[in-house]
Amino acid sequence: MTSDLQSQLEELRIEAEKAISSADSLESLDELRVNYLGKKGQLGVLLRGMGKLSAEERPKIGAIANVVKEALQNNLDKQRAALETAKIQAQIEAETIDVTMPGVFRPQGRIHPLNGVIDRTLDIFVGMGYTVAAGPEMESDYYNFEALNTPPDHPARDMQDTFYLPDGNLLRTQTSSVQIRFMEESEPPIRIIAPGRCYRKDDVDATHTAVFHQMELLAVDEGLTFTDLKGTIKEFLEAMFGEIEDIRFRASYFPFTEPSAEVDLKWKGRWLEVMGCGMVDPNVLKAVGYDPEVYTGFAAGFGVERFAMVLHQLDDIRRVYASDLRFLQQF
């Protein structure tokens, strides 16, 4: 009985090794594994006959069976590795890219005209030593008006001009609020440029929109004068517009600057109103804890949409928000 079982195990090993080496797919190899080593496989069927063996014969046959099982498992593992390698190689060859074939055209995106103005402005002022600052679009009355020396009866506070929220806050009407927040957290000297989205209750037309972008600059230090402000603005406008025929400053009024001025630019034969500016009002400096007897500052701001319309000679501000690819692909 022992010799018969031993010879059957040897025949099973030879048969299985031949079948495993001939397997040409992972699926057929798995079928062979189940057929030979599964719970109901051929090796299991043979080992059930061990129950008829004597106690002395069982260890011997058990040892032989383990050798056969281990040999078959090793063969299965080797063949599986070979088949997996061959499969990967075949897949690589099938997916090989012919570099001589013409490429597929992918249309490139363009920089939006508003983003172009913002990026260019930031590059200029960062190059002049300014830091980019930002603040929340939802503001309190204090940061948007009160700290900026805006009187309680100022028209800008009216419900018809400002988007007030149910909780008493509002959507900022200017990026000047960023200046207050920055000064509260910083000590002079300060030089910042603050880009951001603003909101006002304007009727939408060719030159106005309820949502717009603004850029504001602020410098605070000992001994700053209006001459420093004029020099900074002149340097910026020349960098932004290139060759400029003339620049003029007209007296104006802003609650947070004194004196205040409007800046006009003569470019390509036309006078254009481009930005507002002025020396920071002493009351604003006091609101953030600065001593106006020691420090002075200047501020200026402009609408990004206004600059985009001038630089790109646009006739309608609404075009930059229309998402019309025929328009945007020009930039």
pLDDT of amino acid 50: 65
pLDDT of amino acid 2: 56
Residue 91, amino acid: Q
pLDDT of amino acid 160: 61
pLDDT category at 36 given cuts 50, 70, 90 is confident
**pLDDT, average across residues 31-47:** 75
Distance in Å from the first CA to the final CA of the chain:
92
Residue 12 above 80 pLDDT? Answer: no
E strand or H helix at 216: strand 211-221
Joined together, the tokens standing for residue 32 give 């062979």
Q: Which of 38, 67, 94 is the last residue of a domain?
A: 94
Would you mind telling me the total number of residues written for the chain in this entry?
331
Residue 329 above 70 pLDDT? Answer: yes
Whether 320 contacts 113, CB under 8 Å = yes
Identify whether 222 is part of a domain.
yes
**Which residues make beta-bridge pairs with 171?**
138
Identify whether 106 is part of a domain.
no
C-alpha to C-alpha distance for 207 and 204, rounded to whole angstroms: 8
Residue 106 above 60 pLDDT? Answer: yes
C-alpha to C-alpha distance for 242 and 196, rounded to whole angstroms: 24
C-alpha to C-alpha distance for 315 and 112, rounded to whole angstroms: 17
pLDDT of amino acid 299: 96
- Residue in the structure block whose two tokens are 């409007």: 262
Residue 214 above 90 pLDDT? Answer: yes
C-alpha to C-alpha distance for 181 and 277, rounded to whole angstroms: 19
pLDDT of amino acid 53: 66
pLDDT of amino acid 132: 96
The pLDDT tens digits of the residues spanning 237-257 come to: 999 998 889 999 999 999 999
**pLDDT, average across residues 140-166:** 83
pLDDT of amino acid 318: 87
Question: Is 50 in the same domain as 126?
Answer: no
Under DSSP, the state recorded for 128 is T
pLDDT category at 102 given cuts 50, 70, 90 is confident
pLDDT category at 33 given cuts 50, 70, 90 is confident
Beta strands (DSSP E) in 226-289 are 246-254, 257-267, 270-280
**pLDDT, average across residues 300-314:** 91
pLDDT of amino acid 203: 84
Question: Is 87 in the same domain as 138?
Answer: no
Identify whether 85 is part of a domain.
yes
pLDDT of amino acid 142: 93
pLDDT of amino acid 208: 83
Whether 70 contacts 12, CB under 8 Å = no
Question: Is 66 in the same domain as 180?
Answer: no
pLDDT of amino acid 14: 80
**pLDDT, average across residues 105-126:** 90
Convert 285-309 to b/e letters by CB count within 10 Å (16 or more is b).
bebbebeeeebbbbbbbbbbbbbbb
Question: Is 62 in the same domain as 117?
Answer: no
pLDDT of amino acid 133: 96
Q: Which of 35, 66, 94 is the last residue of a domain?
A: 94
Question: Is 121 in the same domain as 149?
Answer: yes
Mean of pLDDT over the chain: 87
Share of the chain above pLDDT 90, in %: 49
Backbone angles phi, psi at 327, to 5 degrees: -80, -45
Identify whether 166 is part of a domain.
yes
Question: Is 82 in the same domain as 161?
Answer: no
Whether 61 contacts 5, CB under 8 Å = yes
pLDDT of amino acid 3: 60
Question: Is 171 in the same domain as 304?
Answer: yes
Whether 219 contacts 297, CB under 8 Å = yes
Instruction: Say which CATH number the domain at 150 has.
Output: 3.30.930.10
**pLDDT, average across residues 24-52:** 75
Question: Is 84 in the same domain as 124?
Answer: no
**pLDDT, average across residues 116-143:** 95
C-alpha to C-alpha distance for 39 and 58, rounded to whole angstroms: 20
**pLDDT, average across residues 67-83:** 83
Cβ-based burial of 270 (10 A; exposed 0-12, middle 13-18, buried ≥19): exposed
C-alpha to C-alpha distance for 254 and 73, rounded to whole angstroms: 88
Identify whether 107 is part of a domain.
no
Q: How many domains does the chain have?
A: 2
pLDDT of amino acid 252: 94
Identify whether 83 is part of a domain.
yes
Q: Which of 94, 129, 154 is the last residue of a domain?
A: 94
Residue 177 above 60 pLDDT? Answer: yes
Question: Is 128 in the same domain as 89?
Answer: no
| Distances from the Cα of 162 to the Cα of 75, 145, 201, 317, angstroms | 80, 11, 6, 21
Question: Is 88 in the same domain as 163?
Answer: no
The pLDDT tens digits of the residues spanning 156-165 come to: 666 568 899 9
- Domain with 307, as residue range(s), is 113-328
Angle separating helix axes 226-241 and 113-127, nearest 10 degrees: 130
Identify whether 28 is part of a domain.
yes
Higher local confidence (pLDDT), 214 or 109: 214
Joined together, the tokens standing for residue 68 give 């056969």
Question: Is 147 in the same domain as 249?
Answer: yes
Question: Is 244 in the same domain as 320?
Answer: yes
C-alpha to C-alpha distance for 251 and 154, rounded to whole angstroms: 19
Identify whether 15 is part of a domain.
yes
pLDDT of amino acid 307: 93
